[in-house]
Chain A
Amino acid sequence: MSDIAVATGPVVEKRRGEGLTATALLAPATIFVAICLLAPLAFLFRYSLNDFVATKKMMVEAVTIANYVKFFTDPYYTTILATTVRIAVMVTAACLLLGFPLAYVMARTQSRFKNVLIILTVLPLFVGNAVRSAGWMVVFGNKGFFNASLQGLGLIEKPIEIMYTEKAVIIGIIAVNLPFMVLTLQSVIEGIDRAVEEAAFSLGASPATMFRRVLWPLAMPGILAGTILCFILAMNAYATPFLLGGPLFKMMAPLVYNQFTQQANWPFGGAIAFILMTVTLGLTLVANLIFQRRRAS
């Protein structure tokens, strides 16, 4: 009996010491994120339940869902939400289509330029959306590269209006999100054994069959992760619609900013922010569930 006590004594003490060390290591970061992220989100949600007196531009303390009701009953706002979802879906589909071949080539290449390929894909990610929008402005402006080239070739008489239309916004967001899709797919495809593909070929499968029956199912986790990431980013796009869509084009993220700074309507702005976040996460969850059910069956 006493032997056991002696034997377990130091072990217990060591455990307690470990617990202290673990807490000391993790607590600062956790407390910081809790104060600077969770508390603000809680406050924002509380604000979204407040009232707003438009005539005085003042927030009045209350507990009401009026802001949420206002959003969903006014077609002006529901149209903006619908536009945002539609654009996000189109952008995501385009990114998957464009991104898969590049991801596959990057994953399978033996070339020593593989790192260059990856840097070229990652670099635009970090350069910032405003700068990339500037690039599209140079391409699509009335005297821009696209119109000047077509006019120079005599294909069109008047410049085609692309800037400040939905087309420009979609083209711009695809370029912003494509690297995320490519990098996600690439890391998953790299994990698929090359031999599996070779096996399919040696059994007589055509490239199309191999893709449909082998590569696509095996890459599914990456396709799902990339699609979800791309969709979330497109839903929340700010700089691209702001710069390429012009003042009349509206998506959700610029709308939140507008309500906060131009209208000073914090309760409504907060409500829109939460609606944006909930719709995004909700659609993501639905996609996840559909995928899992398909897998199970």
Chain B
Amino acid sequence: MIAVIRRRAGRWALNGAAGVALAYILLPLIFVVWLAFFRQEIPSFPPEGYSLRWFAAILDQRKFVDGFSLSFRIGVLATAIGLALGVPAALCLVRYNFTLRGPLANLLLLPVVVPGVVLGTAMYVFQVEVENGLDVDVLGTFYALVAGHVVIVIPWVVRLVTASLAGVDRAIEEAAQNLGANAWVTFWRITLPSIRPGIVAGALFGFVTSFGNLEMSLFLVGPGRTTLPIVILQYLEWKIDPTIAAVSVIQILLIGGAMLVTDRYVKLARVV
């Protein structure tokens, strides 16, 4: 009897501790969302009332709209290029055995380990060198930003596609080839459909990483060309108000939606 009570108490304590940790993780997001609906501009408690007008106010501020649009375009393009480079690379790393496989796999995963600030400074210096060497505009251009973002998208694509390739039964591919399908047909009809979850997850994680990147982009953006996270950072340096909270709410909704879509294709529990 006492043992049962003790065990039950232990269970409650465990769940309680887990709840505290989850609340800790979510607390900042909850307060940002709350602030977005305040009526008054100053974030003081208790709120004087609630209003939706801050969401309309976002559209009056060009920098948020422009920042969102730039981040979105960079994210989409960087993800597309990252997939084009990363999926074949993952295929090669899983299917072929060669001496440099380990080091090359590590090289492709390296960008997630290198600190964002170091990544940013290194690319900045490099782009200045290229600009001086070739006499073309590089630094601060759209394509230089995209190139930087492709570097941080590739590790996600390689990691998630590699993981899903490992679960593909090679016998089915061999069966297709025995029945007369050539390498291309086998890839399009057999391999690609079976690794689609990995590709979808890699694309979404890559996009979200690119969309939210702050440290590296800080060094690569040019005048009049600022990504959304940087606009948010610069705004917060001066003040915190419901407008910036409303911008954050939209970002949270967008990313939450992306996660839910990913979850339908591939259980998040298995990829993160």
Contacts and interface: CB of A to CB of B under 8 A. Distances in A.
Is this pair of chains taken from one and the same complex? yes
| Chain A contact residues: helix, strand, loop or mixed | helix
Shortest beta-carbon contacts, A-B, top 4: A135-B28, A40-B126, A40-B122, A101-B17
A174 B24 CA distance: 9
A271 B147 CA distance: 24
B44 A143 contact: yes
Given A43-B129, A98-B20, A138-B32, A119 B268 contact: yes
A222 interface: no
B45 A145 contact: yes
B240 A260 contact: no
Interface in A43-75: 43-44, 47
A227 to B, nearest CB: 15
Contacts of B108: 29-30, 33
B236 A124 contact: no
Nearest to A163: B240
| Chain B contact residues: helix, strand, loop or mixed | helix
Given A29-B89, A40-B122, A123-B256, A104 B14 contact: yes
A7 interface: no
A144 interface: yes
Interface in B109-125: 110-111, 113-125
Contacts of A36: 123, 147-148, 150-151
Contacts of B14: 101, 104-105
Contacts, number: 273
A253 B115 contact: yes
Given A40-B123, A102-B17, 19 more contacts: A26-B89, A29-B86, A29-B89, A29-B158, A33-B154, A37-B110, A43-B129, A104-B14, A115-B267, A123-B256, A124-B26, A128-B212, A128-B229, A131-B28, A133-B28, A139-B31, A145-B45, A207-B7, A242-B233
A257 interface: yes
B66 interface: no
Interface of A: 18-19, 21-22, 24-26, 28-30, 32-34, 36-41, 43-44, 47, 98-99, 101-102, 104-106, 114-115, 117-124, 126-139, 141, 143-145, 148-149, 152, 172, 174-175, 178-179, 182-183, 187, 207, 232, 235-236, 238-239, 242-243, 253, 256-257, 260, 266, 269-270, 273-274, 276-277, 280
A204 B83 CA distance: 53
